[in-house]
A and B are shown apart, each in its own frame.
Chain A
Amino acid sequence: MFISSGKKGVMGLRIALAVTLLSLATVAWAAEPVRAVASFSILGDLVCEVGGERVTLSTLVGPDGDAHVYQPTPADARSVAQADIMFINGLGFEGWIERLVQAADFKGTLVTASEGVKPLELAEEADNHDDDHNDHGEIDPHAWQDPTNVKRYVANIVAGLSAVDPAGSAIYQANADRYGAQLDALDTEARAAFAAVPEAQRKVITSHDAFGYFASAYGVKFLAPVGFSTEAEASAADVAALIREIRANDIGAVFVENISDPRLLEQISRETQAVVGGTLYSDALSGSDGPAATYLDLFSHNLRLLTGALAP
């Protein structure tokens, strides 16, 4: 796509040469940082935590971007082509990744961070009876919303980086252990916070149905006005059904997510007198000055908003 077929062979040769050099001269290369690419901002943050200074990272879908509808640019293809290792979420989250890998003629190690995570099916009630052709299939890809899964992500990242850079293996493991302890603390905090809210009150509306793993981890019920993908446009029937549902279930909080139309949610909130609780971050980090600049910030931000709005 980005490289004409004539150049492809030369490029392949060049990368093969680079790989050979890499394996021959590991000692000399140890000083060089590992060139890594992460598909989206949250994964990028995790790779940074594990890799530290041994890794130079470029992230394809940056903060506040939407990986569902992302279009790779030639610059992305170049950073992929030059990378030693690439991290993706998997579970069908990055529908565009296969084309990008082929177009960029990527010959490094491809690590699927979600490998080993127990995948969840999409919730039935999220189905808004449209024939939305997204790339997800029936699996919910947003596995990082459960910190327990993120520990699995981190383990996969450690394995991937250690394979490319065996010399740094101990450092990666140490970083991962330190980060894992923080994830555990976050998980404990979340469990304690939700235990204080009666189960019948743990019902929340968000604009993007990305919290399936969070829901199953902490027993919170998430309802969405538009179905699963951010591409679907709501019909009057969807909105009416949701308003009836809020009224019937007596739901107190509506959350506006960082990547969907906030005006629609404000309208629903006006109609039902439910509180608009702020912005939950799901698929992307915020900018570095935002409330969710790292995964840990993102999770505690969401946790604070949710428990704050649901507390009796």
Chain B
Amino acid sequence: MFEHLIGPFVEFSFMRRAFVGCLALSLSAAPVGVFLMLRRMSLTGDAMAHAILPGAAVGYLIAGLSLFAMTLGGIVAGLTVALLSGLVTRATVLREDASLAAFYLLSLAAGVLIVSLRGSNVDLLHVLFGTVLALDDPALFLLSGIASVTLLTLAVVYRALVLECFDPGFLRTVSRISPFVHFIFLTLVVLNLVAGFHALGTLLAVGMMILPAVTARFWASGIAGLMAIAVLVAVSASLLGLLLSYHAGLPSGPAIILTAGGFYLLSLSIGPVGSFAAQRRPTRHLEA
């Protein structure tokens, strides 16, 4: 048993690297996911993941598989879409979800166009699906760097962010920082998606953000509890997913995300807070 759980990590450094990368990603993406979920922006994560594609593609076309160029390109593209859709929301009649959808579709189409213009598209497919088994030192530094920045920033804007989640109207009346908090938060989302796409690819990176958060929803109701459980779920899914990939010969990225998905389905049915089981349990009425 011990041999099966620890053995792969002792024998192979690529397994250790993969786990360290996932650990960094879990620590930062899962809490960001909790706030996305609480602000009813779960699908925004998905839209942003598509939005960073053309930036990463341009970075790749200019500098090849360069970590720096692709990271920079992804961040620039993601922030541009976030800023533009924010601007349109404030200046026109269009709501945020609609303008974000419009811009991410433009961005996605531009990404596909850039990919196709270049004859060789296979390298880029590898890029889009990422590979957690091939994390090198710079990639690990990037992942842990982004995790540190994310956690520090979350600590600084925590109160404002919580207010923005539960009572945005109040925050707007007492302070003018609301738009800034919103944009800082979107920046964190973009940063974590870019980190995630080095490990899991642009498409699956969102999984590490949203699935642990929605799983945690069935186990805790306070924000601190939600974040702690989300991180725990993300770390366990990474560990189990990697072991599954090792023992059953499955591709690692999908194995990790599907493990997180398994936790979600399990929690959905038996979690103590608001799950199927919890809803059916007879609740005690208040007695006079």
Contacts and interface: CB of A to CB of B under 8 A. Distances in A.
B249 A263 contact: no
Nearest to A283: B122
Contact of B136 (A68, A128, A266): A266
A128 B251 CA distance: 12
A236 B246 contact: yes
A263 B136 contact: yes
Interface residues of A, number: 34
Contact of B247 (A66, A237, A267): A237
Contact of B123 (A129, A239, A259): A259
Contact of A261 (B120, B131, B245): B131
A175 B8 CA distance: 57
B133 A234 contact: yes
A45 interface: no
B15 interface: yes
A230 interface: yes
B131 A263 contact: yes
A64 B247 contact: no
A264 B15 contact: no
B72 interface: no
Nearest to B244: A236
Given A66-B121, A261-B134, A267-B136, A236 B126 contact: no
Interface residues of B, number: 33
Interface in B98-152: 119-123, 125-126, 129, 131, 133-136
B248 interface: yes
Given A261-B134, A262-B65, A267-B136, A236 B123 contact: no
B21 to A, nearest CB: 12
B251 A234 contact: yes
Contact of A62 (B13, B119, B134, B255): B119
Interface in B231-288: 242, 245-253, 255
B251 A65 contact: no
Contacts of A63: 119
A236 B131 contact: no
Contacts of B250: 235, 237
B12 to A, nearest CB: 6
B120 A260 contact: no
A243 interface: yes
Contact of A129 (B12, B121, B249, B255): B249
B14 A260 contact: no
B252 A259 contact: no
B11 interface: yes
A130 B255 CA distance: 15
B123 A261 contact: yes
B119, B129, B133 — which one has the most chain A CB atoms within 10 A of its CB? B133
B133 A239 contact: yes
10 contacts: A65-B120, A65-B121, A235-B246, A240-B246, A261-B123, A261-B126, A261-B134, A266-B136, A267-B134, A270-B136
Interface of B: 8, 11-15, 17-18, 65, 119-123, 125-126, 129, 131, 133-136, 242, 245-253, 255
Given A236-B8, A267-B17, A267-B134, 17 more contacts: A63-B119, A65-B119, A68-B122, A69-B122, A230-B122, A235-B245, A235-B246, A235-B249, A236-B245, A237-B246, A240-B11, A259-B122, A261-B123, A264-B134, A266-B136, A267-B136, A284-B120
- Top 9 A-B residue pairs of the complex, sorted by shortest distance between their CB atoms: A237-B249, A263-B134, A236-B245, A236-B246, A261-B126, A233-B251, A65-B119, A264-B134, A64-B120
Interface of A: 61-66, 68-69, 128-130, 230, 233-240, 243, 258-264, 266-268, 270-271, 284
